[in-house]
Each structure stands twice: as structure tokens, then as C-alpha cells.
Amino acid sequence: MFIDSVILYGLVRELKELLLSAQVKQIHQTDPRVIDIELYRPMSSPAHLILCAQNPPCLYAVCGGKKRQQYIDSQTFCMTLRKNLEGSRLSDIRQIQMDRIVCLSFDRIETGGEIITKNLYAELIPSAPNLILTEDGKILDVLIRNRKQHRELANQKEYVLPEGGDRLDFMQFSADELFDILHFSRQAAGSFKELLFSHFNGLSTPLVSEIARRAEISGDCQAETLSEDALHYAAEIIYSLGLEIREASGLYVYPGPSRETVSLLPLSLPDGQHISSISSWLAQAAGQNGNMISASVQELKKKIHNLIKKEERKEKKIQNEMEETALLEKYKLWGNLLSIYAYMKVSGRKEITVDNPFDENGGTETIPLLPEYSLIRNSQLYFKKYGRMKTRLAIGQEKLEECRIKLEYLRNAAYFAEEIRERKELLALQEELKSTGIDKYGKQERKKKQAAASADEPALYSVEGFRVWIGRNSRQNEALTLHRAGKNDLWLHAQKIPGSHVVIEAGDGLPPESVIEKAASWAAWFSKGKNDKKVSVDCTRIRYVKKIKNAPPGLVSYTRQKTLAVIPEPPEEKADE
């Protein structure tokens, strides 16, 4: 979902027709970086203006109500917007210098009858999206605070546009003026594409390719080699495109191998589809594949990744410390030998070689000594080392097992984070990490009881009349396997890789082989091996599945399993309970 400056031009015009003069009713957040401004429109249904500072950033409007359970607890920036904008009217929407920056102006009658205008800047730049509230050019609050060389985004600082403001709006020039710009700048530019990108805002890669095609110029052609006639023709093409943009409506979408190409103008690409409303298309695109929670999901995945790296470093450190315990039995032997040969005179020597009576082959043993101590004292030191090493070995093995269990849990969590598609799944995993103590510093976020309850409920499917339950996170896995399932039910899990617990309700009998194979293919699909050609899946009765002592949710051990090699397949529609 990529919005270039030309698409934004059409979107701003569309939003003006839809929202101007609407009154701000309420302001909420659906994500730490997504603001929802509810607008009252006389003689029409309410509208929701969505400002998203995730990556990719976007801006669109949705008409109609919105369920409150989608909102999260408001953060500081949202509270500032409420204080300054609720009750105001949206008086203007404008694009700044044909760049990916939109200024929304809100007017409100304050005490004394004075009308105060406050501007909300939506910087929809993929590398640094942001929302900034200003009054009289001064910043009131910023969604994402940062400080760069040319500007500082902080309260009461002067608002300065992002870098790139020196580029020109090509729609403000005539064909002759465009020719002059191209002609006098071509020596400093590289290719024709670079000439256009470096001097004009609003030109995306598809649009520049379209200009080059219409002007019959190769985009990679060196600008300094172009004739004046070629530049005149290119300037005419750019000018005519500006006229087309002013008259354009809707959006053209072209399918591609990796992602769609979208444009305000028709392009020379096959299978294009015209969409009548830019805002509606953006709303639909934002709702697909979890786009509206993508920033929070990425943040969670990064946090889990960092926790895994931290635990791996801890595991390596313990392993290194335990390497010395390899000498455990050696220290015991040396202590015993020195006790036996304590009568020998060895003052000042750094080592001693003695016969080893414990060796069946009658070998000898060379023992390092501290020359300032007697053999008895050296023997005592070795026994003391032996005692310390024995304790360290026991504690180290315990700590190492804790690390391995935690790593297994975190790798499961990393898999489930990759599979998040809905907000309730995100909230469930965040809450799980906090409740287990894994994420000690996670922000507490109150949730609706209904959303929390649905997030903890495993998914239910059916095959040949048998009910099949599938856990979608570690907490669901544990609840399903250890509490919901009956002792005779069948339990399935992808072998030695993170994934969901799958339970077939078997009752007193044994489901047909076809049912077990189908459930096994689902267990393979809901695992890290879903993209493999075949996955090994273990199957056993619930009675043989046990929780690992003191382990985080979802970690179990099992016995008496049967292993099936299956092709991962997604289940069909969920069954009714």
C-alpha cells in the first residue's frame, strides 16, 4: 500500500469533498501510531478520518460507525488532540508543495469568541512518518519525537518541513518554465530519471517511467546528452500530465508479481482496474493482512528476537563456565593422590609425578602444585575446588535447562508473532509475554473482556464429524492440551519445531486414519514448517502429554507417539461450537 504524491493529490481533493466543514466529535487510537478522528457531518452519517504513522503511512476516511472495542487506551498525543481539536470544525485540507505532507486545519471558537486555527500535519513519508499538531507555527505536540540536523520535533519549537522541501511542484509551472528548469539543470544531473526525481516533488517511479515512455526518452539516458527539442517535448509531456492530474478521479490498480502498482493516471501496463474512490481503496488495503497493526507486530517481533538473542548469550556464557567442570573428577583424583603421598618432601616444586593406584593399568599422574604450600594443603585446595565445581555443575545444569526451556518458549512465541493477523491475536500474545514474566517492561494495556475471552479461545474445526481444536498461541495451547482435552483425545504437534497444539475429540474410540491424517496436515500448516513439502507430525493420546515442570505456557513433554509425514494443508472454514 504505497501512496505517492500524485495519489495524495487526488486523495486530498476527495477528502475535501467528503469532510470539509465536518465537526470533530471524538478522537481515539486504534494503535500507538494510528489516530481515528470521528467527524459529525450534518445530513449524513458520521465519518472517521484515519491517520496512520506506521510504515507504510496512510490517510483515508471511512463513513459509518466504528466499534469501540477496536480502540486502545489513549496515549499522550491522542489526549493532546482531544484537548485541542474536539468540538472544532475541519476548515481546510491541503497538500504541502506536492509532497507527501498533508495539513489539516481545524477552527474552534475559544473563550471570548475568538476563532483559533490549529493545524495537524500528517507527514506520510515512508522513511519517517509522523503526526504533528501546531498553532501559529509552533509545535503543540508530536506523535513520534525525534531530533535531526535541520529540525527538532519538540513542544513549542518552530515547525519546519522535512528535508526535500527544496524540490519544486511541477504542477505550478508552464511548459516553457518546465523546459527552462530541465535545460539549466541537466548538466548537474545524471540520467533523465535522476533529473526529474531531484528537481520535482510528486513524481513516483511509475509516473517517471510513463513520462519517459510518452516523451520517447530512455529513463537511463544521460540528461546532458538530450537535445533542446527532446527537452521541450518532455516539458510538454510533464505539463500535460499536470492537466490530467487536475481532472483525474479515482485510482488505477495494476497487478504485479510481488505487489500492485497504483496510479492516479492510467499507465501503459496490462490488466489495470479503475477504482472509483481512493479513500475506500486505502481503507480496504489497510485492513488486509493486518496492515493496521503491522507496526505493533513488528515491534513485538523485534522484542521477541532481542529476548531470544539475550537468552542465547546467557546460554553460551553458562556453557563456557561449565567447561571448567570437565576437570571435576580430575580435581578429586589429585586431592586423593596428594593425601596418599603427603609424606613426600616437595617444597618449592611446581608439580609432582606419582603412581596412580586407582589406574588399573598402573599409570602415573602429574599434578600441578602451588610451591609455597605443602602436599596436604594442596590436597585440601583440590578438594575445595572439587566441591565448588560439583556445586557449579549442578547449578549450571539447572540454569542451562532453564535457558533451553525459555528459548523453546520464545521461539514458539516468535512463530506465533509471525502468524498474527488480527488485533486480538496481538493483544493475546502481548498479554501472554507479560503474564509469564518474559516481557517485564511491556506496557500495560486494558482490554475489553469480550476481546480477551475470544483471544483465549482455541479455533474449532470439523472433519468427518470429529471436532478438531487448534491453539493459536502458547496460552491457548496449554489451556487446550492440559484443561479442555479429554484423556483419550488425540494430540498432534509438528515434530521439533514451533507450532500449534491440535486436539481431536476422540471420546472412547479411535478416529479413522483419514481424520488423523487430515488433522496432522493442519498441525503441519499451523507450524513453522508450513512452507515445507512434508512435515513430521507426532500424534499421541492426551494422557501421555505432560507439562514440563516450571516451564512457560505451552511447553510439554510426551511419550508413546506415532509420527506421520504429511503435506501441510490449511483447514476449511471454522466449525460452530
144 Cβ neighbours under 8 A, 6+ residues apart = 33, 53, 129, 130, 131, 153
- Give the pLDDT confidence score for residue 291 in this predicted structure: 54
Q: Are 466 and 527 in contact (CB under 8 A)?
A: no
Mean pLDDT score, 89-102: 93
What does the pLDDT read at residue 207? 86
CA angle (365 as vertex; 359, 370 as ends), nearest 5: 140
b/e map of 311-326 (b: 16 or more CB within 10 Å)?
beebbeebeeebeebe
Reduce the DSSP state of residue 198 to 3 states and report it.
helix
Last residue of a domain, one of 276, 310, 342: 276
* Same-domain status, 47 and 28: yes
What are the CA-CA distances from residue 312 to residues 322, 404, 495 (Å)? 15, 9, 22
Mean pLDDT of 17-46: 90
C-alpha cell belonging to residue 315: 546460554
Q: Tell me, what's the pLDDT at 462?
A: 92
Q: Which three cell numbers stand for residue 320?
A: 563456557
Q: Is residue 414 over pLDDT 60?
A: yes
pLDDT band at 149; cut points 50, 70, 90: low
Name the domain boundary from 251, 276, 301. 276
Is 523 part of any domain?
yes
- DSSP H helices in 422-568: 423-435, 449-455, 474-479, 513-525
Contact 277, 61 (CB under 8 A): no
Question: Domain boundary at 242, 276, 310, which?
Answer: 276
pLDDT tens for 164-191 read 667 888 888 999 999 999 988 887 778 8
Q: Which residue has the cell 486480538?
A: 424
Distances (CA, A) of 478 to 403, 484, 547, 562: 20, 9, 8, 21
pLDDT for residue 316: 92
Same domain for 325 and 446, yes or no, is: yes
Considering the domain architecture, whether residues 449 and 502 belong to the same structural domain is answered as no
Domain assignment present for residue 322? The answer is yes
Q: What percent of the chain has pLDDT over 90?
A: 51
Tell me whether residue 226 is in a domain.
yes
Indicate if the pLDDT at residue 77 is higher than 90: yes
Q: Residue 293 — pLDDT band, cuts 50, 70, 90?
A: low
* Domain shared by 430 and 313, yes or no: yes
Most trustworthy range by pLDDT among 19-23, 256-260, 418-422 = 19-23
What does the pLDDT read at residue 307? 92
226 and 129 part of one domain:
no
Does 121 share its domain with 232?
A: no
pLDDT in the model for residue 463:
92
Q: What is the CATH number of the domain that holds 65?
A: 2.30.310.10
User: Long-range CB contacts (< 8 A, 24+ apart) of 322-331?
Assistant: 322/392, 322/393, 322/396, 322/397, 322/400, 324/389, 324/392, 325/389, 325/392, 325/393, 325/396, 327/389, 328/386, 328/389, 328/390, 328/393, 331/382, 331/383, 331/385, 331/386, 331/389
Asked if residue 134 and residue 102 are part of one domain, the reply reads yes
Separation of alpha carbons 405 and 69, rounded Å: 35
CA diameter of the chain? 109
Q: What is the pTM of this model?
A: 0.62
Cell digits for 259?
505487489
Question: Each residue of 316-349: pLDDT tens digit?
Answer: 998 888 887 888 889 999 999 999 999 888 878 9
Same-domain status, 343 and 420: yes
Residue 285 domain-assigned (yes or no) = no
Strand partners, 469: 460, 503
Does pLDDT of 288 surpass 60?
no
Read off the pLDDT of residues 303-323 as tens digits, 9 standing for 90 and up: 899 999 999 999 999 888 888
Number of domains in the chain: 4
Mean pLDDT, the chain, integer: 87
> Are the beta carbons of 268 and 208 closer than 8 angstroms?
no
Q: What is the mean pLDDT of residues 81-104?
A: 94
φ and ψ at residue 483, rounded to 5 degrees: -125, -45
Residue 161 lies in a domain: no
CATH (domain of 227) = 1.10.8.50
User: What would the pLDDT profile of 261-283 be if each residue is shown by its tens digit?
Assistant: 888 888 888 888 999 999 888 88
Q: Is residue 518 part of a domain?
A: yes
- Of 79, 155, 78, 89, which Cα lies nearest the Cα of 116? 89
Structural domain contains residue 283: no
Same domain, 399 and 452: yes
My answer on whether 267 and 301 are in the same domain is no
Nearest to 363 by CA among 353, 371, 373, 349: 353
Q: Is residue 247 domain-shared with residue 333, that is, in the same domain?
A: no
pLDDT digits (tens, 9 = 90+) for 398-411: 899 999 999 999 99
Identify whether 152 is part of a domain.
Answer: no
Residue 461's domain comprises 457-566
Domain co-membership, 180 together with 106: no
